[in-house]
Structure formats: structure tokens, C-alpha cells
Amino acid sequence: MSKNFLEQLKDMTVVVSDTGDFNSIQEFRPRDATTNPSLIASAAAMPAYAKLTDEALAWARKDVDGANETIAARTVDRLAIEFGLRILQIVPGRVSTEVDARLSYDTKASVDKARTLISMYEAAGAKRERILIKLASTWEGIRAAEILEKEGIHCNMTLLFGMHQAVAAADAHATLISPFVGRILDWYKKDTGRASYPSHEDPGVVSVTKIYEYYKHHGIQTEVMGASFRNMGEITELAGCDLLTIAPSLLAELEAATGELPRKLDPAKAKAKSIPKIAMDESTFRAMHDADRMAKDKLAEGIENFSKALVSLEKQLASRL
């Protein structure tokens, strides 16, 4: 029997599940899993995870003194760890856990929060090699990653939309970057008024392809993990990427699809291309960021939305107290 698209994709790309729902992870058996504040908030609201949420609240009550809001804020960290620990029991690889998005422009606070999360994981018996700390790809977030990587705390640079962010993350020796394919498409559709793009012309696909080729051409060790997909065509056009983090609904589509899935991204082909090296420092980063309307808009929007999800989750938890 011929392999379906998901099976073929797993032969050339590490498939990662983009969810906080354990049942979905068990169904599709990815190597790794990623979470974010929105996914954790959605999962925490599910009746199936009420016991886990109550356990996290009980832990936070004992850990901190203060008003319900203070306890709820501490519970958010614990909840992220509890979800991460359970995911690690299912996947053979790594789980990504995000630093509070409200700290995205504060290097020291991001480093401190990452250290706290890692210490909580290690106290529960998890090895830091299996944890990726997610940080927003601001200049400050990338500097935090540079510090953390030197301590053996591996980082996943999220909310990444432009080449300048990718180059700076590579220079900081981040373990992995997560360029957001679908959100780039969203911006271009709104900006141009176009209803759709062919998959091979999808602006998000084009952006990730350029980043992948830059990395492979220059022998950069940082892994590229395409994220935030809107349709299956975006995924198939990036077949061969180091990793792809995919929502359960699209994993199901891939599993149902049959036929031949050709490899689109190839390190040998990237090596053969002529791709100049980009010298990056803070002034260059900020100039390139200001010049890239899409990256500037989507980074700010992403931080705002993840921050709102955290506030919503804290209110939800405080109400349970």
C-alpha cells in the first residue's frame, strides 16, 4: 500500500504537532510538540483538562501568597509545565514552552522567566535537552536566546516573519526558528486585496524557502521549523524543511491525502545557489525591521494577541479560585 502524504512528509521532515490537546498528539504521533498561550488557554478551558488545571491552581496557592490574580499568574507557568510534562510522555522528542509574551521587549525578564520554566521542568524530572523555550523574535528576545543557549537552555524563536530576524537568530545560535507561514499570507491578502495565492507563490512559503536556503547555503546549524499554516498546500510546498509544526486538522488532511509528495526544499540545492551573507547588528536589524511593513505589523500583532491570551487565561484561572 502506498504511503499517505503525512507518512511521506515524515520521511523527509520532522513533523511537530501544534496543539495543547494530548488526544490529538496521541493520534498523530509527531516527534515533537509546540504550545503557545492561545493553545494552552484553549486546552485549559476543555472539561477534559479540568483536573489538571485544578492541580496547577492548588500548587500555585501553596507556592505564593497574595490575591487571586497573583495566584492565577503563577498558575499560568505551572499549567504550561504540566501540559509540557504530559506531552513529553507522548512524544519521543521535544516540547516548546513559551515565555510570557508581555516580556518580549525585556531581555533580562525573558532570561529570568526562561530559567524559572527550566527549573520547574527539571524539578519534575524532565531533562532540559527535551525542552525548547519559545521567545518572540524581537531584538531583545534574540539577545535573551543568546544568553540562554550558552547555559544549555535551548530556544525556539517564534513570531518570526523576516530575514533580518532569521539572520539575527542564527547569529545568536538559537536552536530553532519558527517562521510563521500563514500569518504572512494573511497580511499579504489583506494588503493586496487578493483572495488567494497559488501555493508555490504563497508569500509565507516564499519567505520560509528563502530562509531555509540561506541557512543551508551558509552551513547554519539553527533548525528551520515552518509554523502557522492556513492550508495543506503551504505544507506540501515546504516538504523537506527541517521541521514543520502542524495543527491537528491539517495533520488529518495530510493523512487522508494520497499520491506522490515531492521534496521541495533540499540542502544540496541550496548549497549550490549564490546567496550572499548578511552582516547583522542592532542598527541593521532595526532598519530592516522598520523597512519590512509585514514583519513589523505581524510581530507587534502576535505579541499583542499572545499577551491578550495570557490575560484571558489569568482571568479564567482567577475565576476558578
The residue with cell 519590512 is: 292
Spot the catalytic one: 10, 62, 127, 134.
134
Length of the chain: 321
Is 3 noted as a catalytic residue in this protein?
no
CA 71 from chain centre, in angstroms, equals 26
Active site residues: 134
